[in-house]
């Protein structure tokens, strides 16, 4: 066996479509030099964009207004091959990001999140949810129900991407996050997310607690220091990539989208791959983490949430 061969070969017949459920919005970015830019974004939208740019079939389920901002989002997604299944909202949401000199960001949001209770997403191979959509009432209840329904046919991925500015009750947010973690097969969270949710313990200890509640893989990202994946076999680490940081907007979303691409590349799609994912070996996992880190490094090297396309990255 060579270093590029996978130990596990999941059933290849599963639907390889990726459905992402969550917010699409306009990021109003105040840069350290005084410039103000308006660009489309939103964590789940950025994940879908990354998946589409890497060549996989991606669909975003989001609430988007029939307004100029909504038109910008529709064109932005279509240009990267992402299908938008839009639930018409009152207006398109906005997020105001203020960038510090080191590229870090703080956020303020103007968003209303509602989804119809009878919403259906079909039977894709992977369903992803996260960020504001997984916590903000009333739409968060529908998101949870969609994941419960999809569990019988799809792999579930989740990234809480916690936004404290939108969370009045940390305990309620923790309960909602934990319920979705228990439904998921793969979870990605930043060390900052885990520290905010569980300030009394280390991020890796929190990740292992999450893993024991259901997921096969829990990935902890630590910015420039890389990432670590916790499985029942232990911890697999991947170092960060040296890069000149322009800003960090969209870095975690790019990592998540590239992680989904890596799962599809190794043919982990559909519920039938769930038990096999629990047996994933460290070399395969490290390959996926390394690919995702390279993708995120490209994103932070240029302004805004601008994920790479497949041709910009080495072979997985």
CATH number of the CATH domain containing 153: 3.40.1190.20
- Residue for token digits 């969270």? 189
3-state secondary structure of 3: coil
Position 44 in a domain = yes
Instruction: Tell me if 5 is assigned to some domain.
Output: no
Q: How far apart are CA 46 and CA 160, in angstroms?
A: 14
Residue 51 included in any domain? yes
pLDDT, position 189: 98
Whether residue 2 is contained in a domain is answered as no
pTM for this predicted structure: 0.90
Which residues of the chain are under the pLDDT cut of 50? 1-13
Instruction: Look up the domain containing 290 and give its range.
Output: 18-306
**Residue 39 to residue 45: CA distance in whole angstroms:** 12
Measured CA to CA in angstroms, residue 237 lies from 7, 17, 227, 289 at distances of: 19, 28, 6, 8
* Residue 269 covered by a domain: yes
Q: Of 115, 176, 201, 185, nearest to 150 (Cα)?
A: 185
d(CA 53, CA 6): 24
Assigned token pair, 46:
């950025």
Could you tell me if residue 312 is inside a domain? Answer: no
Tell me whether residue 67 is in a domain. Answer: yes
pLDDT tens digits for range 30-88: 888 888 888 899 999 999 999 999 999 999 999 999 999 999 999 999 999 999 998 88
Q: In this structure, is residue 141 part of a structural domain?
A: yes
Cis peptide before 138 (omega within 30 of 0): yes
Number of domains present in the structure of the chain: 1
What pLDDT score was predicted for residue 14? 56
State which H helix or E strand residue 172 sits in: helix 170-183
């Amino acid at each position: 066996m060579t270093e590029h061969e996978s130990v596990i070969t999941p059933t290849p017949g599963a639907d390889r479509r990726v459905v992402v459920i969550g917010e699409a919005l306009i990021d109003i970015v105040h840069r350290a030099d005084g410039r103000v830019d308006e660009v489309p974004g939103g964590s789940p939208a950025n994940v879908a964009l990354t998946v589409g740019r890497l060549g996989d079939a991606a669909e975003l389920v989001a609430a988007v207004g029939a307004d100029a901002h909504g038109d910008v989002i529709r064109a932005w997604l279509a240009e990267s091959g992402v299908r938008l299944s839009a639930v018409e909202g009152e207006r398109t949401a906005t997020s105001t990001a203020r960038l510090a000199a080191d590229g870090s960001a703080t956020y303020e949001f103007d968003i209303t999140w509602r989804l119809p209770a009878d919403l259906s997403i079909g039977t894709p191979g992977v369903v992803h949810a996260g960020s504001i959509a997984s916590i903000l009432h009333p739409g968060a209840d529908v998101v949870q129900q969609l994941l419960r329904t999809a569990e019988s046919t799809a792999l579930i991925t989740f990234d809480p991407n916690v936004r404290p500015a939108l969370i009045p009750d940390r305990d309620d947010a923790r309960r909602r996050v934990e319920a979705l973690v228990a439904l998921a097969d793969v979870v990605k969270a930043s060390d900052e997310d885990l520290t905010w949710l569980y300030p009394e313990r280390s991020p890796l200890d929190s990740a292992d607690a999450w893993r024991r509640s259901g997921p096969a893989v829990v990935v902890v990202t630590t910015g420039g220091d890389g990432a670590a994946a916790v499985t029942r076999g232990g911890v697999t680490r991947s170092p960060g990539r040296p890069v000149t940081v322009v800003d960090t907007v969209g870095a975690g979303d790019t990592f998540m989208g590239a992680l989904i691409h890596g799962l599809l590349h190794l043919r982990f799609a559909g519920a039938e791959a769930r038990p096999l994912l629990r047996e994933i070996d460290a070399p395969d996992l490290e390959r996926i983490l390394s690919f995702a880190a390279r993708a995120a490094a490209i994103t932070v090297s240029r302004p805004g949430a601008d994920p790479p396309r497949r041709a910009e990255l080495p072979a997985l």
